[in-house]
């Protein structure tokens, strides 16, 4: 996933990272592009994704699977359609992801009593177990992603992002 990451664990290189960028904190920080929030969010999500994926490898999960599992564990009983629109996934991608998790018996498709067309996603017991462990990993990844921010700043960031995204 990066020039490092040989093949061992995943917790790997967490420290000794003077700057997240490959270059010396990047002489490009002042460029116009670097001021665009579209660019900044893209870079953030790229970093966050890579970090979280590393953390999840030994649970055999990727963040996209994790996201589905998380929603199945949320108690909100989302239908596949709802899940797709929440996660910005095409219905066909949802099918593939749900298939994968269902084959591993982490979640199951339950009939929607309101509408026989739709299927509701619910985590199994082992799904909940795995989610518990996985969410610890993603929490760790988040901690790492946000080390540069104070706790107040972290909250503020969450607030602002939520505001533009919901």
Partner DNA sequence: TTGATAATATTGAAAAAGTCAATCGTTTGC
Partner DNA sequence: GCAAACGATTGACTTTTTCAATATTATCAA
Instruction: Give contact residues for a copy of itself (rule: CB under 8 A).
Output: 19-23, 25-29, 31-49, 51-52, 63, 67, 70-71, 73-74, 76, 78, 82, 85-86, 88, 135, 138, 141-142, 145-146, 148-149, 153-154, 156-158, 160-166
Q: How far is the CB of 4 from DNA (least distance, A)?
A: 11
Binding test (CB under 7 A) with DNA, winner from 14, 48, 104, 118: 118
Q: Quick check: 12 and 58 in contact, CB under 8 A? A: no
How is residue 118 written in tokens?
């739709």
Choose among a copy of itself, DNA, none what residue 103 binds, the Cβ cut-off being 5 to 8 Å by kind. none
Q: Angle at Cα 63 formed by Cα 34 and Cα 72, nearest 5°?
A: 130
> DSSP alpha helices (H): ranges in the chain?
37-56, 63-72, 80-87, 91-103, 125-145, 151-165
Other beta carbons within 10 Å of 54: 22
Residues within window 54-73 making contact with DNA, judged by CB under 7 A: 62, 64
> DSSP alpha helices (H): ranges in 88-124?
91-103
CB closer to DNA, 73 vs 89: 89
Which residues of this chain interact with DNA, rule CB under 7 A?
Answer: 1, 50, 62, 64, 79-81, 84, 89-96, 98-99, 109, 112, 114-119
């Amino acid at each position: 996933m990066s020039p490092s990451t040989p093949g061992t664990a995943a917790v790997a290189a967490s420290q000794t990272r003077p700057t997240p960028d490959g270059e010396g904190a990047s002489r490009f920080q002042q460029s116009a592009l670097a001021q665009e929030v579209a660019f900044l969010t893209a870079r953030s999500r790229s970093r966050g994704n890579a970090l979280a994926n590393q953390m999840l490898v030994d649970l055999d999960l990727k963040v996209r699977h994790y996201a589905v599992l998380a929603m199945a564990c949320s108690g909100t009983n989302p239908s596949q359609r709802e899940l797709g629109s929440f996660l910005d996934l095409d219905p066909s991608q949802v099918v593939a992801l749900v298939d994968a998790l269902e084959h591993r018996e982490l979640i199951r498709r339950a009939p929607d009593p309101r509408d026989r067309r739709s299927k509701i996603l619910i985590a199994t017991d082992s799904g909940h177990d795995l989610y518990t462990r996985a969410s610890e990993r993603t929490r760790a990844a988040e901690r790492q992603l946000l080390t540069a921010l104070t706790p107040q700043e972290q909250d503020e960031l969450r607030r602002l992002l939520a505001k533009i995204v919901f």
